[in-house]
Each structure stands twice: as structure tokens, then as C-alpha cells.
Structure 1
Amino acid sequence: MEMNMKKLLTMLMALMMVLALAACGNDTSAANNGGNEPSTPTNALEKIKASGELHVALSPDFSPMEFVDSSKSGQEQYVGFDISLAKFIAEELGVSLVIEPMSFDASQTAVYTSAVPMSISGYSWTEERAQNYELSDYYYAGDNETDQVLLIKAEDAAKYTKVEDFAGQDVGAQNASLQMQLLTEQIPDANPITIGDLAVGVMELKAGNIEALAVAKGNAEMIIDANPDLVICEFQFEVKAEYEANVILMTKGETELLEAVNAALAKAYESGLYGTWYDAAVELGKSENAKELTLD
């Protein structure tokens, strides 16, 4: 009886050792190849590739950079230079592009809070943006997007020609924009009026609620094409070199995505795509189907 008990204990101990070794072997295999479960993405770039989609926030009220083709619907309705750039970046990452339309300041907030990883919306470099976001290398849409001007009524062309003429006058600019910064710095005696949407700003100008609207020259030309009662003011803002081109906003700390985006920008530049995209966007912006979408 005692001998049988010893044999039984020996067999039980041997079985436990076999099971323990098998478990260790499985753990080692899982550690070596990740088991059957895919690894969890740890940064924005990995999440984009895992989902197969690049979500980009932008404000489609800024022709020819981003606007709406009313003859199309869904994602296809969003067009312009920045859309072409966003599509190119998505292709370079091997994913599909998803445009997230929202207001200009909401686009920046969405990136800051990581609601979306990226915004491409005609942004200029500013020190504040450099502190709060990962900013891409510069991309260059052309001189008309570098120059910053004031739109006024054609009937006021002789009335407003220099800085002093705007003293005490209401002048509009988009919230959190380079134009608002230039306005407050270079026309300090004007009353800066925050405009959430450029289409609304144009309506405010035409209605006489503001005397001028600060915009990029390329945008001004597209607006005038649709509104011949408006003109570009003789006064023009002085633009520092660091503000002359555009940058892409990405969530702070997402350096892997930043590196991938900069590589795509370099490839687009070397391929001479910027001029082609801009010319096509200008032509489309002059068509009867071109609309600037107003968003809250």
C-alpha cells in the first residue's frame, strides 16, 4: 500500500512538471512572435496604418486651398490644393484619406486634443503653433498664398489705402490665424473682429458690418472672382520669411508621424507636384461648382 502511494505521488509530480514546462514553452513562443494577437499600436502613425485610414481635419472655406465641389458628394466633394496634398500623404502611408470638415479653429483644437492626428488647412508657421504642435517642413503653394492682404469694398478703394485709414475701424480676420496676428501687430489702432468662417466674413464685409477682411492674396482673388464689388486694398501686410509658406499640424509628441509626413513632402516637392496641384485648384475654384462651406 505504501509502495503504491509513493508511485502515485511520483506520477503526479511528473505530470505537474510536464504541464509546467508546456506552459513555459507556450509563454516563450508567445513572447517571441506575439502569439496570435496583433500588437497594440503605440503612436499615431501605427494607429493610422492599423486602421487603414488617415483622418485629416480642415476648414473647406478657403479656396483654392480647400473648398467644396458642389457637383460631387461625400468625401469626393472636398477639393483644392491641400486636399491633393492630403491624398498624396495618405497614398505614401498606404492608407485611405478621410476628410473631417470643421471650422478653422476647431481643426486646430481637434489636433491639439488628439481627436484627429493631423490638420492641413493653409496654416502658416507661428511660434505659438510650434509650441503646441508638431509642425511639418514647409510646403509651398505659391506667392499668392504667401502674400497677406485686406479685402475692402470697391467703392472704398480710395478711402482705405494706408494703415492710418483703419484707425478705429472694424477689421475682420479668422480666429487663431496668421491674418489675425498680422492685423493686431501691424494695424494696432483698428478694432480686430474675430471671424469664425471666411464665407461669413465676406458677407459681413459686403453688409458693412466690417470695413475690411484680412486674407491670403490667393484667397482674396478667388473671393473677388465671385464678388466683383470687392477689391484688394492698396495696403499690404509685411510678411516675415518664416510665415511665407505653409505647414501641417500634427499632435504634439507624434514624431513618427512627423517624420513620415516630411518624407512625403520632400517627395512631392522633388516631383514638382505643388505647381500642378495649385494651378488645378485655381481653375476648379473659378468654376460654377466651387463653394466655400460654412461650418460652426
Structure 2
Amino acid sequence: MSKKLFALLLSCVFLFSLSLLGCSKSNAPAAQILKVGSDTTYAPFGFQDEKTKEYVGFDIDLIKAVAKQAGYEVQLQSMNFDGLIPALDSGSIDVAISDMTITDERAKKVNFSKPYYKAGLSIVVAAGNTSIQNFKDLEGKKVAVSIGSTGADEAHKIKNAKIVEFNAIAEAFLELKAGGVDAVINDSPVNEYYILHEGSKTAKIVGEPLNSEDLGIATAKSNPELGKKLDKALAEIKANGSYETIYLKWFGKKPPQ
């Protein structure tokens, strides 16, 4: 065999090897996309970072960790809280995570994961308000809530109260600051985050939390297998320490056992 023919064969082998390598890369299974809906006005669960403009928060980090564990990549969609369950029902999103309390009424429409956080409702009032100390004192008052929330459900039970519903809880806090309402009823961790980062001089939390509520990741009734996969992944990140790391990052303490 001539040197020229040998060199030609060697080049062919090299090019063939490269083509196989390229095929192996292109044929590698890509992670499936998980369309996730979230109301990104609920800091610290989900909100938009002012500097980066990216959506961040406990729920955002959690669903990304759960999705990765289950073999998915997250495609996040920001939407109003009351639109999450209809979006699941229509198939425009696969998952909803947004400080969503597991309730019997919601469980009729969607499937919930095992609880991933325990919350409760509390009252926020103006810093100088001394007339409201507990839920009983809200009778006859003007109360702001987020539409479709458990806070709204409880507010509607208050005798003679005028309930003002907002698409985003941030709007309710702004209305309180402006003096348009007497109080805001909302999830305790969101209220605490607001007081700590924005409302420390203008607002305060009063009374004891009304109740204890479990938060869950919601999936469509038509896709029970996805719910099972996410439940399994949630249990795995709790076991491997990832959940605790995320919890510490956003709440500054370890999750309750």
C-alpha cells in the first residue's frame, strides 16, 4: 500500500469517527420541558429581581430542583394567581407552584404534591394602627386580599367587612400604604418578608396566625403520572439535602422536622 493511499484511508477513518461522535451528541436525550406557572408577586416564594429582572424565590428554586431531579428543564410563565388552575386545566402549563395552599376545593380541580411548606394567614396593618389587634377587630373594616387566595376566603367570613381584591398582593400592600384599606390578610411568610424588606417603617403584623396551611405543587387531573414523578423527586431532594439548602437560603433557618 502506498503512503498516499494509507494517508487517504487514515483521513477517511478520522472523518468517520468525527461523524459518529457528532451523531452520538445529537442523539443524546434532551431534558423534557416542564411548563411552570407562578404568580411572581409573592416574595419570598416568587418575585422578580430588580437588578437582574430574573424570577427568583423559594418556589422558583424548589421547582427547578424538583424538575432537575425528575429529568426536566423548567420553562417559567408568570401569571396572576387566579389564572393558575385554569391554565393547568387548559394544558397551557404543566405545573403550578405559587405559595398555593392545599384545600379540599382546589383538590377537586387539580392534583397536589405532598406538602412542601407549612404556612398560615396573618394580618398586616399600618404601623400607627392601634385599633386592630386580631381578626375579631376586622369587623366592619376595609380589608385587602389577593384574588383567589385563602386570605380572600377568610376575609369574606368577616362580619360587615368591605373586601377589596387585587390581582397581585403587592397591590394590596400599596393600597394599605396609601391608606385606602385598614388591613391586608395574606400568608404569614409573605407578610413577614414584606415587613422585613419594604414595609418596616410603614406597616406591622398584628395578632397570631389564623391557621396552619400546607402548600403544594399542583398538576392537572389529566396527568397523574407527572404528579407522581414530582412527588418522588421532592422526596429525593429532601433526602439529599437540596431542599434544606433552598429553605435556609430564603428563610434563614432549617425546615421543621
Q: Same fold (TM over 0.5)?
A: yes
Residue of 208, 213, 221 corresponding to 1:252: 221
Q: Describe how 1:199-238 pairs up with structure 2 within 5 A.
A: 199-225=170-196, 226-228=198-200, 229-238=202-211
How far apart, in 2, do the equivalents of 1:163 and 1:81 lie? 28
State the AA in 1 paired with 2:185: A
> How many Å separate the matches in 1 of 2:57 and 2:98?
10
Flag the structure with higher helix content. 1
Aligned partner of 1:263 in structure 2 is 232
**Residues 157-196 of structure 1: pairs in structure 2 closer than 5 A:** 158-185=130-157, 187-196=158-167
- Residues 136-151 of structure 1: matches in 2 within 5 Å? 136-140=113-117, 146-151=119-124
Q: For structure 1, list consecutive stretches of 5 or more residues without a partner in the other structure.
A: 1-48, 284-296
State the alpha-carbon separation in 1 of the partners of residues 135 and 199 from structure 2.
24
Unaligned segments of structure 2, at least 5 residues: 1-28, 253-257
**Higher RCO (Cα < 8 Å, 6 or more apart):** 1
- Residue correspondence of structure 1 range 79-118 to structure 2 within 5 A: 79-118=56-95
Counterpart selection for 2:45 from 65, 71, 76: 65
Q: Does structure 1 conserve the Cα–Cα contact (< 8 Å) formed by 2:31 and 2:73?
A: no
Indicate yes or no: 2:177 matched with 1:197: no
Within 1, Cα distance between the matches of 2:30 and 2:221?
Answer: 20
Change (3 A) 1:282 1:137: closer
Q: TM-score, normalised by structure 1?
A: 0.70
TM-score by length of 2: 0.80
The structure having more radius of gyration, on CA atoms, is 1
Q: Is the 8 A contact 1:64 1:278 kept in 2?
A: no
The answer on whether the counterparts of 1:161 and 1:235 sit within 8 Å (CA) in structure 2 is no
